[in-house]
Structure 1
Amino acid sequence: MFFVLETLFLIISAIVLLRISGRKSISQMTIATTVVMISIGTVIVQPIIEDSIFKTLAAATIFIIVLLVIEYLKMKFDFFESMMAGKAVMLIENGQLQIHNLKKHRLTVDQVEMRLRTQGISKITDVKNATLESNGQIGYELKDDAKPFTMGEYKKFLQMQNNVQQQEDTIFKEITDGHMDEHDKRLR
């Protein structure tokens, strides 16, 4: 019975410690976060095999404190963030695949195409720039001809069309542009 209570205590302690460390999905974890989370999992299991539950909690707490210090330093200093997380790498620049960067990060063209397809991009030639972000996701910028027509652009387009029609149909045009020939002939 003591074994079950000890296990429940460890699970609850692990949940509390992980909640303190912050909320990030696995895809958003940095390398340091991933290492700490795996280590905590390993450390939490140790008291089930051994006898020292307090050493386990102390070790898990130290892991979380180190993780929080790393996260704080990443927020405070840009160089530390780039050292721990890395920087974005260009995969497509001005519409051209950067093959040397693909090879450097062990990506194939098929993998890049697959990730772009999941973003709704059907042609790699529609992409102006694409980057491999530090969290492993691909960020992209479409070429102007491939960008979707937004509601804001549609409203501007309609406004331009309405202004053109309004300018053609107004009676004030005579004042700004002078008399029209058609009216002059009929009045004479």
Structure 2
Amino acid sequence: MKSNTLEKFFTGKSKIVVENGKLNIKNLKKLRLTVDQLEMRIRNEGINKFDDIKFATIKPNGLLGFELAEDAKPLTIREFKTLMESYGFQPNNNHLSENTQSCSVSIFNEIKGKQKPENPKFK
């Protein structure tokens, strides 16, 4: 669609149902959604408490969109590496076994028929 107004008219727009851990009862009523149904959707996403949600919306297609609060976000590998480096620990790749390191054949070379990977040998 070329017009945002027409697109909103035909498809609808997202409604905020949780904001800073608090339920928006007004929008839940508009969506004809009970708190139990919302809890079920949130639990399906792996979230246990409303307090863990910065905001959550119900999209026009019925899917739940959400952003977690800062304290509830999972730790990423990049953040972990930064944290470890700030304490003076250097990343060490020696923990990889010989079998894992020998399987570094590109799958694209295999698909092109240039290189056949060796099966790893397990002890």
TM-score (norm 1): 0.46
Partner amino acid for 1:95? G
Measured in 2, the distance between the counterparts of 1:155 and 1:110 equals 39
Other structure's SS at 2:87 match: helix
| Corresponding residue pairs, total | 89
Partner of 1:111: 37
Deviation, structure 1 residue 125: 1.4
Measured in 1, the distance between the counterparts of 2:50 and 2:21 equals 8
Deviation, structure 1 residue 141: 0.8
Q: State the identity %.
A: 47
Moved over 6 A (4+): none
The higher radius of gyration belongs to: 1
Other structure's SS at 2:13 match: coil
Contact persistence 2:16–2:27 (CA under 8 A): yes
Structure 1 or 2: larger strand share?
2
Measured in 2, the distance between the counterparts of 1:128 and 1:79 equals 28
2:75 corresponds to 1:149: yes
Runs (5+) with no aligned partner, structure 2:
90-123
Measured in 2, the distance between the counterparts of 1:122 and 1:96 equals 14
Partner amino acid for 1:158? M
- 1:127-157: CA deviation from partner (whole Å, max 9, x where unpaired): 1100011110110111111111111111111
Structure 1 or 2: larger helix share?
1
Partner amino acid for 1:132? I
Runs (5+) with no aligned partner, structure 1:
1-73, 164-188
Measured in 2, the distance between the counterparts of 1:113 and 1:153 equals 30
Partner of 1:175: none
Other structure's SS at 2:18 match: strand
Compare relative contact order (CA 8 Å, sep 6+) and give the higher one, 1 or 2.
2
